[in-house]
Amino acid sequence: QKEVEQNSGPLSVPEGAIASLNCTYSDRGSQSFFWYRQYSGKSPELIMSIYSNGDKEDGRFTAQLNKASQYVSLLIRDSQPSDSATYLCAVKADYGGSQGNLIFGKGTKLSVKP
Amino acid sequence: EAQVTQNPRYLITVTGKKLTVTCSQNMNHEYMSWYRQDPGLGLRQIYYSMNVEVTDKGDVPEGYKVSRKEKRNFPLILESPSPNQTSLYFCASRYRFNNQPQHFGDGTRLSIL
């Protein structure tokens, strides 16, 4: 059973701080990793994708991937109250009969305090 | 506009009355999936489909049925709904073999009394 694990939180940070969200996964063969943001009652929206070891930056967001440790993280710099949401880590199955299926973690709830 | 359309958005019904939640996408995606979301439990996959006539169970398939007779449609069927199926449901689609984003519908909130 392929698994994606996240701390459920809530993670509370003050406005302007760096929020760090972590995710581990069990499938060593996975090559594709995604972070989704979900506001309460709304559908998830993709904010970052990463495929290679190292860091990938997009505005205030940085995704980090370490395939050897099976670990992916999301950093949010200069956190804003509008960043308060649940962040879902997703891992794509990249081989076998379930190739293309996206496995989601349970999500980490982030709260940014003004 | 690329979109995944779910209907209905909200439904209150009673135990045992068969219902269908429709899902349609206009992006020619091979892959479609249904999830349910409950507080504290995250997105749990019900069923997914890799292409027409190909469906597979996810983590929580009990009490649900799906079909994929056409590429664009992937209905979720509750033959005999029960109160423990009260939840927020999402349909999603994506291209199976590349890393283009997975698109989600706006969700269907089901209440089974």
pLDDT value of position B97: 81
As a whole number of angstroms, the distance between CA B35 and CA B1 comes to 23
Among the partner-chain residues A100, A104, A106, the one whose CB lies closest to the CB of B31 is A100
Least Cα separation, residue B77 to chain A (angstroms)? 21
Q: Is B99 or B59 the better-scoring residue by pLDDT?
A: B59
As a whole number of angstroms, the distance between CA B101 and CA B64 comes to 26
pLDDT value of position B9: 97
Token duo for residue A30: 């996975």
The pLDDT of residue B98 is above 90: no
As a whole number of angstroms, the distance between CA A8 and CA B60 comes to 20
pLDDT class for B16, splitting at 50, 70, 90? Answer: very high
Residue ranges of B 57-86 with Cβ closer than 8 A to chain A:
none
Best mutation target among B25, B32, B34, B43 (most A Cβ atoms within 10 Å) is B43
The average pLDDT across A21-30 equals: 92
As a whole number of angstroms, the distance between CA B101 and CA A51 comes to 13
Least Cα separation, residue A81 to chain B (angstroms)? 22
As a whole number of angstroms, the distance between CA B30 and CA A51 comes to 21
pLDDT value of position A106: 93
Spatial neighbors of B98 by CB under 8 A, at least 6 apart, are none
As a whole number of angstroms, the distance between CA A70 and CA A79 comes to 26
Burial class (CB in 10 A: 0-12, 13-18, 19+), B7: middle
pLDDT class for A36, splitting at 50, 70, 90? Answer: very high
% of chain B surpassing 70 pLDDT:
100
Do the Cβ atoms of B97 and B10 come closer than 8 Å?
no
Cβ-Cβ contacts under 8 Å, A33 against chain B = none
Buried b (16+ CB within 10 A) or exposed e, B58-68: bebbeebebeb
Query: What are φ and ψ of residue A83, in 5° steps?
Result: -80, -10
Do the Cβ atoms of A42 and A36 come closer than 8 Å?
no
Q: What is the mean pLDDT of chain B?
A: 95
The average pLDDT across B49-65 equals: 95
pLDDT value of position A98: 77
SS3 B26: coil
pLDDT tens string A58-88: 999 999 999 999 999 999 999 999 999 999 9
